[in-house]
Structure 1
């Protein structure tokens, strides 16, 4: 008669791995959508940021171009690099869109220093909500 060790965490561990796989698939799909639709998403995003008075810029086109390049580059980014960038905002909302978190942190941390940006307004949540209103299009159902 064999003795089998009973692991009370086995089911939890399997569920956790399944959730991780689902998140990873969701992340891959979102990055592919962002890459394929970078120009359209950038145009909508910059327009939304302007409409919501989040950014003030001297060149809409330069900022659109910047976001287009960024969205195309994200698919090559290491998961660690993305997670590191979004760490300060991870608890901002429940079930966040990773792309929206990344772009929000980018706006707060990096875009503010762009020579075509005059100012950035709103708190982290205001910026996230404006970004996510566009980037939610990348999220699989």
Structure 2
């Protein structure tokens, strides 16, 4: 017979605090993306092309697409964000929500864009490339 789990008040408070901190980090990451749309999309698109992870006919078009996705991210509710990143949620431990959204966008949508010739590398390589650029704009505590 399985053990019955009954959290006590201290455990409940701790779990609540952890969940609140995750939600706060997510909110701050999305707000930071909103405040840095153009430089963040430029840095991400530039690095993806430099690292030969995306082959494209127009780097500017790639940047515009990523910038539009970041603009849309700000307007999405939590359910829509979770739905978009669901296939990639287990990609890395403690992922950045903005990096995951951009990774999902690159792997699921940009691959079919008229200016994108091909996408190379594993999902993890693409995520890490995007995340290194996104982290440059995030506050130090995230």
**TM norm structure 1:** 0.89
Q: Deviations over 1:106-125 (max 9, x none)?
A: 11111101111000001110
Any unmatched runs of 5+ in structure 1? 1-6
Partner residue in 2 for 1:100: 99
Partner residue in 2 for 1:27: 26
Per the TM alignment, residue 137 of structure 1 is displaced from its structure 2 partner at its CA by 2.6
Q: Return closer, same or farther for 1:34/1:9 CA change in 2, 3 Å cut-off.
A: same
Q: Which runs of 4+ in 1 moved over 4 A?
A: none
Residues 40 and 137, structure 2, Cα contact 8 Å, conserved in 1: no
Partner residue in 2 for 1:47: 46
Residues 44 and 133, structure 2, Cα contact 8 Å, conserved in 1: yes
Q: How many residues align structurally? A: 135
Per the TM alignment, residue 138 of structure 1 is displaced from its structure 2 partner at its CA by 4.1
CA RMSD of aligned residues (A): 1.3
Partner residue in 2 for 1:83: 82
Partner residue in 2 for 1:36: 35
Which one has a bigger Cα radius of gyration?
1
**TM norm structure 2:** 0.89
Partner residue in 1 for 2:3: none
Residues 40 and 133, structure 2, Cα contact 8 Å, conserved in 1: yes
Q: 3-state DSSP class of the match of 1:115?
A: coil
Q: Deviations over 1:20-53 (max 9, x none)?
A: 1111111111111111110000110011001111
